[in-house]
Structure 1
Amino acid sequence: MTTTHSLINQLIQLQELVVANMQKKVSQPNARLEELTKSITSLSADLPQQIKSHFNRLLQKHPEAIVPVANELCTGCGMGLTKSMVQAVHKAEGLSRCPNCARFLYYPDQLIARERVSRSYGEAKKTGIGRFTAPELMMVDLKGATGEEVLGEICARMEQEGFVEDKDHLLDLALQREAIISTAVDNGLAFPHVRGVEGGGLSMVVGIHKKGVKFGGPGRTLTRIFFFVVIPTATSAFYLRLISGLSKTFRDKEVSESLLACSSEDELWKALIKATRKSFK
């Protein structure tokens, strides 16, 4: 008999596949997605029919059908939960749903709390791409020889700048996501990310690897520009629009070369702002 914990894990994995499918469609409109679609069908095949139907109905409205509880809140809609409901979610004796948005709820083993929002974004209202990143999240000289090493450098910068508490845990989550399907796309771009990072807003590191590194398996060109994003549940829908805008902007070789030509993080910040001025108002 399926336990609640295994059912929750199955729903989370299924959701990751569905979102990965959405991401590939917006970042690579012509990508072949047969294997991903087959995995989604296979993983959902043995779900109880009532749960499967509700899960699919939720995904038609939101990118997230199952969300973590954080600080006694449903991270999907922000509604406060009663202590008894939080305890029920924690015990996982049965699947719980948010009474407001009807999403399935789970209690994560560990959350990465993003801090220092005011220091990063300042008191003044930010516009454009500056709403989602900051000068200190520019990395102009990534040195890793492998994709994992590059992601490790990026996660270390996020911890160093106070955006996450545990770089190793963040790296583990990013690698788990890459194992589903590579976030590398054409033109030497990649959009590695971790979703469900509660405690702050959507945040993005922009990293440049001058030589390029293999990041998407055999046959793919070397990846040279990394857009690494940590995504709270509440901003998951916008994340898809963000990568769509970035992908369209940097498919232009001249525009992507403007980032690769930067020799300092200050230059990279200015080049990013200039390149995305029309894409992100």
Structure 2
Amino acid sequence: MTTTHSLINQLIQLQELVVANMQKKVSMPNARLEELGKSIELLSADLPQQVRSHFNRLVQKHPEAIVPVANELCTGCGMGLTKSMVQSVHKAEDLNRCPNCARFLYYPEQLISRERVSRSYGAVRKKGVSRFTSPELMMVSLKGTTPEEVLGEICSRMAEENFVDDGAHLLDLALQREAIISTAVDNSLAFPHVRGVEGGGLSMAVGIHKKGVKFGGPGRTLTRIFFFVVIPTATSAFYLKLISGLSRTFREKGASEALLAAATEEELWKALIKATKKTFK
């Protein structure tokens, strides 16, 4: 592996830690994040000074400092790239930056693709949380006993409903993300996700595990409610607002119990819409 490849992988991992830190802050306001902060400092310290400085400037503006190239576009800002730039990113002999937004660029082996056109459900304009999810993505009885099994069920549903084109690859990316730091938080909630998805908008599946499963979260709390989100690069900033709103809403015992009490996917959908009515306009 070349030095540039190693540097790119280091930047991607650092970015995941930075975003994880942001997520924990919005979903667990009182959490102690010293260990996560130390991991960020240690990984940052190994970067060349010029790269580290530019990375830090970028993350002050938006969550994504290094983004994939897809269809000859910077997925961060959408600018078209020259063929020579794309070839340079693909070769990874040097560290490239988008000439428009200045984000670092990398060429992924495979991107998760999803529909580029928003799905439409009837003639009524979608509002609230229904802009990001649908009744087809409600799962009221997850059966898995491990994180991999639970996430596998959710990823399969997203593929079956044509929200992504490759459920198995989506699962691999979700597990890679969980390996960095668990997305489980207090109140039996977890926010597993995959970022950098190509095409379409942000989409969320909601899964309920009645018994609960150990998901690597704080203490010995079992996770029972899963909000799984696929996030195109352009919507990464909004993802944090979504997590913050969901976390505030479902910290309330009554709101989370309403989801857990749902016996059908239709009931789960109605409970989700009702609980988030004031959170998402």
TM-score normalised to structure 1 length:
0.96
| Runs of 4+ residues over 6 Å off in structure 1 | none
Aligned to 1:201: 201
Provide the secondary structure at the position in 1 that maps to 2:226.
strand
User: Deviation of residue 119 (structure 1)?
Assistant: 3.6
Amino acid at match of 1:173: L
Aligned to 1:130: 130
- Partners of 1:221 and 1:247 in 2: CA distance: 16
The 8 Å contact of residues 116 and 163 in structure 1, kept in 2 or not, is answered as: no
User: Deviation of residue 108 (structure 1)?
Assistant: 0.7
Moved more, 249-258 or 122-131: 122-131
Provide Cα deviations, 1:171-220, integer angstroms capped at 9, x if missing partner. 11111111111111111111011111111110000000111111125733
Alpha-carbon distance change, 218 to 243 in structure 1, aligned in 2, over 3 angstroms? closer
Aligned to 1:60: 60
The 8 Å contact of residues 147 and 214 in structure 2, kept in 1 or not, is answered as: yes
User: Deviation of residue 125 (structure 1)?
Assistant: 2.9
User: Deviation of residue 122 (structure 1)?
Assistant: 5.5
Aligned to 2:248: 248
Alpha-carbon distance change, 15 to 280 in structure 1, aligned in 2, over 3 angstroms? same
Alpha-carbon distance change, 111 to 123 in structure 1, aligned in 2, over 3 angstroms? farther
- Partners of 2:248 and 2:73 in 1: CA distance: 35
- Partners of 1:179 and 1:112 in 2: CA distance: 19
Aligned to 1:44: 44
Q: CA RMSD in A?
A: 1.5
- Partners of 1:69 and 1:170 in 2: CA distance: 18
Establish whether residue 222 from structure 1 lines up as the match of residue 222 from structure 2. yes
The 8 Å contact of residues 115 and 162 in structure 1, kept in 2 or not, is answered as: yes
User: Deviation of residue 115 (structure 1)?
Assistant: 1.7
Aligned to 1:23: 23
Provide Cα deviations, 1:32-78, integer angstroms capped at 9, x if missing partner. 11111111111111211111100100010110000001111111111
- Partners of 2:70 and 2:189 in 1: CA distance: 33
Amino acid at match of 1:99: P
1:1-281 equivalent positions in 2, closer than 5 A: 3-115=3-115, 117-119=117-119, 121=121, 124-216=124-216, 219-281=219-281
Provide the secondary structure at the position in 2 that maps to 1:241.
helix
Moved more, 46-55 or 118-127: 118-127
The 8 Å contact of residues 114 and 197 in structure 1, kept in 2 or not, is answered as: yes
User: Deviation of residue 116 (structure 1)?
Assistant: 7.0
Moved more, 93-102 or 123-132: 123-132
The 8 Å contact of residues 196 and 231 in structure 1, kept in 2 or not, is answered as: yes
- Partners of 2:206 and 2:12 in 1: CA distance: 27
Size of the aligned set, in residue pairs, is: 281
The 8 Å contact of residues 113 and 164 in structure 2, kept in 1 or not, is answered as: yes
Alpha-carbon distance change, 205 to 248 in structure 1, aligned in 2, over 3 angstroms? same
Provide the secondary structure at the position in 1 that maps to 2:197.
coil
Provide the secondary structure at the position in 2 that maps to 1:206.
strand
- Partners of 2:133 and 2:14 in 1: CA distance: 29
Q: Unmatched 5+ residue regions in structure 2? A: none
Amino acid at match of 1:244: S
User: Deviation of residue 164 (structure 1)?
Assistant: 1.4
The 8 Å contact of residues 250 and 256 in structure 2, kept in 1 or not, is answered as: yes
- Partners of 2:87 and 2:218 in 1: CA distance: 46
Alpha-carbon distance change, 59 to 116 in structure 1, aligned in 2, over 3 angstroms? closer
